Amino acid sequence: MNGRDYLDRKTLILGDVNSGKTTLCREILEDFCRRGLAGRIVVIDLAPQIPEESLRDRGLRGVGGRLAPPEGAGVVYLHAPVVAPRLTSTTEAEALDKARRNRDAVEGLLRQAETSGRDILFINDVSLYLQAGDPGRLAAILEKTDTVVVNGYFGETFGSGELSRRERDAMERLAGWFASRGAVLTMPRAPAASGKILVAMSGGVDSSVAALILAERGVDIAGLTLFRTGGGGAGYGPGDAEDAARVCRLLGIPHHTADFTADLDRLVIEPFLAEYRQGRTPNPCVLCNRDIKFGMVLEKARELGFEGLATGHYARIVDRGGKPALAVPRDRRKDQTYFLWRVRRESLGRIRFPLAEHTKQEVRELAARAGLPVSQREDSQDVCFIPRGGIGPFLEARLPHPAPGRIVDCRGHTVGTHRGIVHYTIGQRARLSAGRGELLYVVSIDPAENLVVVGPKEALRSGGLEAGDVNLLVDGLPDAAHAKIRYAHRPAACRVTAGPGFLRVVFDEPQEAVTPGQSVALYGDGVLLGGGTIRRALEGIESKD
CB-side neighbour CA atoms (13 Å) of 141 = 24
DSSP letters spanning 80-111: ---B-GGGS-SSHHHHHHHHHHHHHHHHHHHH
- Residue among 427, 420, 431 nearest 276 (CA): 420
| 113 three-state secondary structure | helix
| Distance from C-alpha of 180 to C-alpha of 374, rounded to nearest angstrom | 39
In sequence order, the 6+-apart residues with CB closer than 8 A to the CB of 8 are: 146, 147
Alpha carbon distance 372, 247 (integer Å): 6
Q: Cα(371)–Cα(348) distance, rounded to whole angstroms?
A: 32
Q: d(Cα 245, Cα 33) in Å, to the nearest integer?
A: 16
- Give the CA count within 13 Å in the CB-facing half-sphere of 505: 36
Helix (H) or strand (E) holding 458: none
Is beta strand 308-310 parallel, antiparallel or unpaired with respect to 197-200? parallel
Name the region of 60 (left: φ>0; alpha: ψ -120 to 50; beta: rest). beta
Neighbours of 347 (CB within 10 A): 16
- Residue 482 — φ and ψ, nearest 5°? -125, 135
| The residue type at 7 | L
Distance CA 513, CA 518 (A): 10
13 vs 149: CA distance, rounded Å: 8
The phi and psi torsions of 43 (rounded to 5 degrees) equal -115, 130
Which residues have CB under 8 Å from 393's CB, separation 6+? Answer: 387
List, in sequence order, the alpha helices (H) in 144-237.
Answer: 162-181, 205-216
**288 annotated active-site:** yes
Catalytic one among 25, 288, 410, 494? 288
Measured in residues, the chain has a length of: 545
Q: What is the 3-state secondary structure (H, E, C) of 11-39?
A: EEEEECCCCCHHHHHHHHHHHHHHCCCHH
Q: Which of 248, 285, 384, 494 is catalytic?
A: 384
Rounded CA gap, 28 and 7, in Å?
10
Task: Tell me which amino acid residue 478 is.
Answer: P
Which amino acid would we find at residue 304?
L
Using DSSP bridges, classify how beta strands 461-472 and 527-538 pair: parallel, antiparallel or unpaired.
antiparallel
Positions marked active-site: 288, 384
